[in-house]
Amino acid sequence: MAKYCTLSDGINKLGNWAYSFSDEDLSTLKFYDESGNEVSRPVDFPTDEQIRTAKADAQTETDAKDAQRDADKASAKAKLIAGEALTEAEADTIVL
């Protein structure tokens, strides 16, 4: 099952901030301090474009991991049927 990456995945890939927003709408971003009080946008917070790029990168990485897992699973099945030894990556795909 493929994972869908969100804008939060993109933000979290770029740094660590306390924030919230609604419905994947970056214009609704709110920021918080350690006590949970709302504060202004941090100066080091990424631009919308940087966030969207990081989200796309996270999705690409996730898709590649999913594809590799699927390939390992298919290879493991074929090797099990043929009675061959599995690699560690293939063995990791087996649910017991």
DSSP string, 16-52: ---EEEETTEEEEEEEE-TTS-EEPPPTTPPPHHHHH
Query: For residues 93 and 27, which has the higher predicted lDDT (pLDDT)?
Result: 27
16-28: average pLDDT: 96
pLDDT for 29-68, tens place per residue? 999 999 999 999 999 999 999 999 999 999 999 999 999 9
Strand order in the sheet with 25-32: 19-22, 25-32, 38-39
First to last CA, the chain: 18
